[in-house]
Amino acid sequence: MASLWSSVTVAPAGAERREVAWRRALLVGAVLVAVALAGLLARPQPALVADPELARLLRGMAVLKAGIAAAALALVWWRAGRPITPLRLLAYALGTGILAAAAVMVWQLAVVAATSVVFHATLLALGLAALGDGGVKVTGRR
């Protein structure tokens, strides 16, 4: 039991705290840029806008996708609080950004079929990336 508690760090100090803040800022920045681009570039498909019931259904799905993207962002936010390789951080940031952008594009009723495929493929890729994430081993610290 003592070994469990000795491996837990309460709060990062100095440089490590700045590193965590930088990783989390990168993550949030990627999501914000992706959402802004999706909002600016998405053009609704006229056939979807013309059918109000279908548009309401698709926007409901967009809300569900946004919830999934928010959950993924929360998990990656938590993961960014610990040491992580730059490549894995980049994969997580891009993945969560794509999830958020896809939710916005579905809400905008723009290329819904392709966006949904991209959303689910990205969710699968993030899951596979997380499966291989054993964490970065930091030696010499208690």
User: For the segment 1-51, what is each residue's pLDDT rounded down to a tens digit?
Assistant: 454 444 545 555 788 889 999 999 999 999 999 999 999 999 998 888 899
Residue 137 has pLDDT above 80, yes or no: no
Please give the pLDDT value at position 135: 64
For the chain, what are the domain ranges? 27-131
In terms of pLDDT, which residue wins out, 48 or 58?
A: 58
Q: What DSSP letter does each residue of 76-137 carry, written as one string?
A: HHHHTTS---HHHHHHHHHHHHHHHHHHHHHHTTSSHHHHHHHHHHHHHHHHHHHHT-----
What is the rounded average pLDDT for all residues in the chain? 87
Let me know: does 126 contact 95? Beta carbons within 8 Å.
Answer: yes
Percentage above 90 pLDDT, the chain: 68
| pTM > 0.85: yes or no | no
